[in-house]
Amino acid sequence: MSSCNDVRKNALALEGVEEVEHWGRPAFRTKRRIFITLRPAEEKAMFHISDEHQELLFEMRPESFEPLHWGKITRCLVNLKTVPRKEIAVLVREAWELAGLVKSQKYRTTKARQLPSRGTRRPN
């Protein structure tokens, strides 16, 4: 099974990741956002993964994955003692990839709104 050190090792192996303190807890971030926060005393970690994936995990494996509510946001709290190391490595990568997509998706959406649609002529 896994530990906070497994999460740390996998996260820091990814490009552009740094460990920071977040409200007194170790966290991992890209330039854009925090994607994992550790709870070392409990051997748990909060993962920012897709809503669809976390809902599936909550339903199928409630002993390992539980919802962590923060206002209107729900994140995935993982009991590291019950999840294999290989699965933790996959979750770390998924959270990291999602953290990297946030700005690029907003950028594409904003640019799409600014471009004229096909068939539309610009005034001279």
Both tokens of residue 33? Answer: 């956002």
- What domains can be seen in the chain, in order of their start residue? 4-114 (3.90.1150.30)
Average pLDDT over residues 48-55: 97
Report the chain's mean pLDDT, rounded to a whole number. Answer: 87
Burial class (CB in 10 A: 0-12, 13-18, 19+), 40: middle
Q: What is the mean pLDDT of residues 9-21?
A: 97
pLDDT score, position 101: 76
More confident residue, 32 or 27: 27
Q: Cα 87 to the chain's mean position, in Å? A: 14
Q: What pLDDT shows up at residue 26? A: 98
For residue 47, is pLDDT > 50? yes
In this structure, of 20-24, 28-32, 51-55, 106-110, the range with the lowest mean pLDDT score is 106-110
